[in-house]
Structure 1
């Protein structure tokens, strides 16, 4: 199974600043993922020609299930997170991760009925301040809607904005038994796309998930399409209860 996480920057190129959503779609299509997690997806915003971007992605990829979370509301429209799945959802929830008066953020939680069994998928886009990110992680892990599916194999993916990599090492994810897939950071630099200097796009797993391959997609088109590069992970669910994660190949 393959999952892709991608901050698409509303379809605006990181270097040429041109709005071309088709470039983003081509990058995603080239990777042929089963699960697509997109951040900064516009809907009805002037800067992106009032496009309904979630609808365009749904029409292009025809998923069995999808979920859009509008986090930031603007005078016209807004933007947020989008999940597309090749397989149906058994359950799904969306929660706010907004801390006080900071910029609205959110997390999407889906139990995906994969061919290998149920997967608890969490997709988020965290804040810019380190204390804010730690609060957001703690808030999610203690949330009742997260806890009701936490016995399942769990994958948390998205734009963490965690450039110092503290959420896993001494933060809530590490304390809660999650393993970082996107390590070492030097192999997962994804921002800015045209000259990647830091690793912002990350994934953590807990439970019987075997990661076969994890990488940043570095094609020429990906470097032009957004200000982030996509994160691509191939994985399987291990049969039976329990079982530690195996990482066969990370590059």
Structure 2
């Protein structure tokens, strides 16, 4: 079975500059990806100020419900709560969502973070999907990664297909090796190794091999930092790409990653 998935930090449905509403354009962009499952971060569950300021251009539904429409299933994990609303992670799936649980992994009062775990009932069986948004500080990310590992180990069978996707804020790529070793996952760009050359030859001679790096996804107009990831277990990566450029820069500060997986 083939499965097309996407991960995307949607910046609460407003533009990076000027906070102009982008919710309707985002829905069109999501539809254009033709993904079976979307892993979304910074999804606005409610924002009274935007709803009032942009009346007529801001949906009455929560963003995850608006994006899902009548054709998809959705689950929402509320993380940050404030007087005029709240936002968090969301999973949108063309397949039924059997269960959903949101775990608070906030490391301090200034950054509300969570892990949304959903069990998706695909035609090939259950998929354990984890939507992740980690903190801005290295110490927080390390502790949140330990919480993620414990969550995956405690909520999914060891032989179950697993997808972990989201905004890891891990621009120095310190977490991937830990996740690979502890959970047996692969990042979707792990197989995109650089072409053989003199530098590769020297690394092989030294025994260091080729350094595996995730894709660049931030900022969306000209990605430089490696923030967003998709880790999988129990499936083969057929393809993966970052969607970036002027069009995507108008929608969010992050570029989305789209990947096609084959269930093993």
CA distance in 2, matches of 1:53, 1:77: 12
Unaligned runs of 5+ in 2: 53-58, 193-211
Say which one has the larger Rg: 2
RMSD value over aligned CA atoms?
A: 2.1
Instruction: Rate the CA distance shift 1:177–1:117 in 2: closer, same or farther, 3 A.
Output: same
Normalising by structure 1, what TM-score? 0.85
* Number of aligned residue pairs: 233
Q: Please state how far the C-alpha of 1:73 moved relative to its aligned partner.
A: 0.5
Q: Please state how far the C-alpha of 1:43 moved relative to its aligned partner.
A: 2.7
Q: Please state how far the C-alpha of 1:37 moved relative to its aligned partner.
A: 1.3
5 Å-filtered alignment, 1:226-245, equals: 226-238=252-264
CA distance in 1, matches of 2:157, 2:247: 37
Instruction: Rate the CA distance shift 1:181–1:211 in 2: closer, same or farther, 3 A.
Output: same
- Show CA shifts across 1:4-37 (max 9, x none): 1110001212245422211211211111110011
State whether structure 2 residue 192 is matched by structure 1 residue 178: no
1:221 — aligned with what? Answer: 247
Unaligned runs of 5+ in 1: 239-251
Moved more, 1-10 or 179-188: 179-188
CA distance in 2, matches of 1:219, 1:161: 20
CA distance in 2, matches of 1:92, 1:173: 24
Q: Please state how far the C-alpha of 1:174 moved relative to its aligned partner.
A: 3.2
5 Å-filtered alignment, 1:19-168, equals: 19-49=21-51, 51=59, 52-59=62-69, 62-63=71-72, 65-143=73-151, 146-151=153-158, 152-168=160-176
Work out whether residues 223 and 244 of structure 2, in 8 Å CA contact, stay in contact via their aligned partners in 1. no
CA distance in 2, matches of 1:33, 1:103: 29
1:245 — aligned with what? Answer: none
5 Å-filtered alignment, 1:197-212, equals: 197-206=224-233, 208-212=234-238
Instruction: Rate the CA distance shift 1:71–1:172 in 2: closer, same or farther, 3 A.
Output: same
